[in-house]
Amino acid sequence: MKKTHLQALQKAYVCLLFSFLYVPIAVMIVFSFNESKSRTLFTGFTLKWYKSLLQNDMILDALALSLFVAFIAATVATVLGVMASIGISGMNKRLQGAINTVSYMPVVNPEIITGVSLMLLFVVYVNFAHWFNTSESIPAFLQILPENIFGIGTLLIAHITFCLPYVIFNVTPKLRQMDVRLYEAALDLGCNPKQAFFKVVLPEIMPAILSAFLISLTYSIDDFIISYFSCGTLQTLPIAIYSMTRKKVSPEINALSTVMFVVILAIILVTNYMEGRSYRKTREKS
């Protein structure tokens, strides 16, 4: 008797917490179909906000930029990070510790600090470039340092920088866990070190590399704070969203949220389904 009461209480509590998590999202979805611009009164059903969203060049450009930056940043970070992990795993413990401490900085530090510090670096560079290009003691043909750097370049540098630690901290443990004898077995069977890496080590750490790439991709697409300090006048999707929320009027933002929610939900469901299937498949085999 007492136990069932407790269970009911548990259920009620979990439901309450989940409604806390989902009510705001539900409200946005409902109001994305609202006829009027009101954010509080539902006056009638419409799809016009979706239509105008599709015609909103600012948002579409921002989306394209976000995807582009995310893809480049995740790729570069993954390649650099995997190389780094392999190199670091060959070092002694002391050196590894020192490198890990610095690598952890962007993870541990508040994002605003990472953003601000990178912005300062770029500012310092701009100041230097300006001095260099205008100094009389430097030959004119050398005075070609770019000064207007805030834009795609700085954005990419920032994104690669905050993605790198996630790659390293995903791949390094996998390398450490890997049985060294697998590598030795490959050598034993006739692989040279390069072949052994590509035929045995790489397939072995591939899941970690893949998940590092995906994590980088999502962090990059989602990032607002660090981009905010390094993008100059460019707008990534989160920055475009920010400027829309400042205006406080357009219901397009609700439509955008709904679209994003549905896309994310679809991705999660699909990956889950695939995982479940491959899991069942391996079980059937055995």
Partner 1 sequence: MIRKKSLSAPYLVWMVLFIAAPLAIVVYYALTDKSGNFTLENLMTIGRYSSVFARSLILAAIATVICLVLSFPVSYFLSRLRASKQKIMLMLVMLPMWMNFLLRTYAWMSLLENNGIINRLLGLIGLGPFQMINTSGAVVLGMVYNFLPYMILPLYTAMTKIDDSIIEAAQDLGAGTIKTLLRVLLPLSAPGIATGITMVFVPSVSTFIISRMLGGGANLLIGDLIELQFLGNSYNYNLGSAMSLVLMVIVLLCMSFTNGFDDEDMEGVV
Partner 2 sequence: MNKIVSLKNIVVGFDDEPVLNGLSLDIHDKEFVTFLGPSGCGKTTTLRVIGGFVQPKSGNVFFNGQDITNFPPYKREVNTVFQKYALFPHLNVYENVAFGLRLKKMDEREIRSRVSEMLEVVGLKGFERRSTTNLSGGQQQRVAIARGLVNHPKVLLLDEPLGALDLKLRKEMQLELKRLQQAMDITFIYVTHDQEEALTMSDTIVIMKDGNIQQIGGPIDIYNEPENAFVASFIGESNIIDGIMLRDFSVEFAGNAFTCVDKGFAHNELVQVVIRPEDIQVVPAIRGQLTGVVKDVIFKGVHYEMHVEQAGYEWIIHSTQASEPGELIGMCIGPDEIHIMRRSEG
C-beta closer to partner 1: residue 143 or 193: 193
| Residue 203 touching partner 2 (CB under 8 A) | yes
Among the listed ranges 47-55, 56-64, 136-144, 175-183, the one in contact with partner 1 (CB under 8 A) is 175-183
Determine contact, residues 39/250, Cβ cutoff 8 Å: no
Number of chain positions touching partner 1 (CB under 8 A): 86
CA–CA dist 107, 167 (Å, integer): 12
Q: Choose the one of partner 2, partner 1, none that binds residue 119, judging by a C-beta under 5 to 8 angstroms depending on kind.
A: partner 1
Choose among 55, 54, 29: nearest CA to 42: 29
Q: How far is the CB of 21 from partner 2 (least distance, A)?
A: 38
From residue 188 to residue 207, the character string flagging contacts with partner 1 as x (rule: CB under 8 A) and all else as - is -----x--xx---x------
Our finding on whether 92 is near partner 2 (CB under 8 A) is no
The Cα-based distances of 65 to 58, 160, 196, 209 in angstroms read 11, 15, 38, 24
Residue with tokens 């890997």: 178
Residue 120 found at the interface with partner 1 (CB under 8 A): yes
Cβ proximity to partner 1, 10 vs 36, nearer residue: 10
**Which among 53, 54, 27 has a CA at the least distance from the CA of 39?**
27
Q: Which of residues 160-189 bind partner 2 (CB under 8 A)?
A: 179, 181-182, 184-189
Query: Would you say 60 or 178 has its CB closer to partner 2?
Result: 178
Binding part of the chain for partner 1, among 50-58, 130-138, 144-152, 225-233 by CB under 8 A, reads 225-233
163: nearest Cα among 103, 204, 87, 118: 103
Quick one: what does residue 107 bind among partner 1, partner 2, none, with the CB cut-off 5 to 8 Å set by partner type?
A: partner 1
Query: Which of partner 1, partner 2, none is residue 161 near (CB under 5 to 8 Å by kind)?
Result: partner 1
Task: Pick the piece of the chain touching partner 1 (CB under 8 A) from 44-52, 55-63, 131-139, 234-242.
Answer: 234-242
Q: Of the ranges 47-55, 129-137, 145-153, 265-273, which one interacts with partner 1 (CB under 8 A)?
A: 265-273
Judge contact between 199 and 256, C-beta under 8 A. no
What's the 3-state SS for 241-267?
HHHHHHHCCCCHHHHHHHHHHHHHHHH
Closest listed residue to residue 157, CA positions, set 110, 121, 131: 121
Continuous H helices in 135-251: 152-177, 180-188, 193-196, 202-222, 225-230, 237-247
Q: What is the DSSP letter of 39?
A: S
> Which residues of this chain interact with partner 2, rule CB under 8 A?
179, 181-182, 184-193, 195-196, 199-200, 203-204, 206, 282, 285-286
